[in-house]
Structure 1
C-alpha cells in the first residue's frame, strides 16, 4: 500500500514537472535528447524532465534601440546618429537553429548597417531625406536577418547630432540663401513694375485726355497732404495758344521755350 502511494506521488510529481504552458504569442522549440522536434504551439505541453529541453520564442514585435554611432558623412562631416529598429520573429525554428541570439545579432547588424549607409550619404541628405535612408537601412538589415527567421518591419533614424561649428555655418548659409532669394524677388518685382509702367506710358501717350486726367489725379493726391507748394507741369501743346496770345499783346521777354509753370502756391493757413 505504501509503495503504491509512493509510486503515485512520484508519477504526479513527474506529470507536474512535465507540464509547460505556452502563451498565445509564444512558440516552443523543443529538443529531445539533442534532436529537434516539431514546433510547439500555445497551450499546455508535456515534456519529459531530463530528456526534453524547451526554448520559448516570442513572436511579438521587438523594439530595438541602436545606440549613437560616430559616423562621417560623404562630405566629411562628423555626426552622431542613433536609430530604432522594429522586428519580429517569423520562423521560430530558424531563429533558434540559425543564430545563437537573434536579438543581439540583429542589433549588431543594425549598428554596422547604420554606419555604412549614413557614411555613403552627405549631410543634406541625412537631414532632409531621412525617409530614403530609412528605406535603405530597412532593406539592408532585412536582407541579413531573413535567413534567421527575423523580419525587420521599421527602421527609423531618431536623432542626428552635428558639431556646433557646423551648426553655425549652416545657419549662416541659410541666412545668406534667404537674403539671395529676397534680392531676386525684389529684382523681379522691379522688372515687372518697369514693364507695367512702360505699358502705362504707351497707353497714356495714345490719349492726351487720359494724361490730363492723370495730372488731375496727381494734383488731387498732392492736395490731400499739408504741402506749401505744388509744382504742376503742363505740356506745351496745351498752353501754346495762351502763349501766342500773350506774345501778341504783352511783354517782349516771353519766348517760345518750354516753361514749367508754377500753378499754385498755398500756405498751411489756406487749409
Structure 2
C-alpha cells in the first residue's frame, strides 16, 4: 500500500512538473484545451495541464527570409532571374497557429509567386531603376495577403536582377549608342552657340571698319609670335584701299 501511494505521489509530481512551461520574452504560447483554442499566454512561467491541454510555441521575432531566384518574364519579354529578401514577424500567435498549417512555408511560397506576378507587369528598365517603388508594391501586397495568418510583412528588398550574357551585351550597346547620341547633341549645340557668337561679332565689327583692321593686325601679331619659318597672309583690300587712294592723289 505504501508503495502504491509513493508511486501515485511520484506520478502527481511528474504531472505537475510536466505542466510547467517557461516562455522567453520573444515567445508566446497558444494553449489548446481538448483541442480547442483557449488562450495565448506568456512570456514567463505558465502552467499547462498535462493531457488536457497542449501548448504551441510561437516566436515573435522578425524573420529574415531569402526568396530563391525566380524566373521572371518582364512586360517587354525579357527573361531574368530575380531574388529578394523578406522581413516579417508574427503579430497574432493564435492566427499563425490556427489559420495556416506552417506560416513560414506559406509566407515563403506566397513571396515567390508574388515576386513573379508583380515584376512580370513591369519592363526591364523599371526593374533596374525603380526598385524602391517595386519593393513598396511587393510589401503592400504580401502584408495584405498574410494579415489573415497573423503575419506582418515589414519590408521586401529585391537583391539581384540577373540577365543572360546576350542581354547584357545588348544593354551595353544601347548605353554606348545613348552616349554617342548625347555627345553629338552637345557638339551640335556647341557649334550652334559658336556660330551665333561669331555672327554677333561680325555684326559688331562691320559697324566700324577700323575695328576690323585692328583685329586683323592683332591676329598678325599673335601668329608672328609663333615659331614659324614662313608665314603667308592674305592682304584684305579694305586694309590697303585708303593707302592706294592716297598714292593716287599724289
Q: TM-score per shorter chain, which class?
A: over 0.9
The SS at the match of 1:67 is strand
Give how far 1:234 is off. Answer: 4.9
Q: Matches of 1:186 and 1:78 in 2, distance apart?
A: 37
Give how far 1:170 is off. Answer: 0.9
1:103-142 counterparts in 2 under 5 A?
103-142=104-143
CA RMSD of aligned residues (A): 1.9
1:88-99 counterparts in 2 under 5 A?
88-99=89-100
Q: Matches of 2:121 and 2:35 in 1, distance apart?
A: 45
Bigger radius of gyration among the two: 1
1:39-188 counterparts in 2 under 5 A?
39-188=40-189
Counting matched residue pairs gives 249
Match of 1:240 in 2: 241
Q: Matches of 1:237 and 1:52 in 2, distance apart?
A: 115
Cα displacement string for residues 59-81 of structure 1 (whole angstroms, at most 9, x for unaligned residues): 11011111111121111111111
Which structure 1 residue ranges, 5 or more long, are not aligned?
250-271
Cα displacement string for residues 137-159 of structure 1 (whole angstroms, at most 9, x for unaligned residues): 11111121011111111111111
The SS at the match of 2:39 is coil
Q: Matches of 1:244 and 1:43 in 2, distance apart?
A: 117
Which structure 2 residue ranges, 5 or more long, are not aligned?
none
Q: Matches of 2:76 and 2:136 in 1, distance apart?
A: 21
- Indicate conservation of the 8 Å contact 2:213/2:239, yes or no: no
Match of 1:206 in 2: 207
Give how far 1:47 is off. Answer: 1.0
Q: Matches of 2:8 and 2:189 in 1, distance apart?
A: 101
1:222-237 counterparts in 2 under 5 A?
222-237=223-238
Larger deviation, residues 208-217 vs 57-66: 208-217
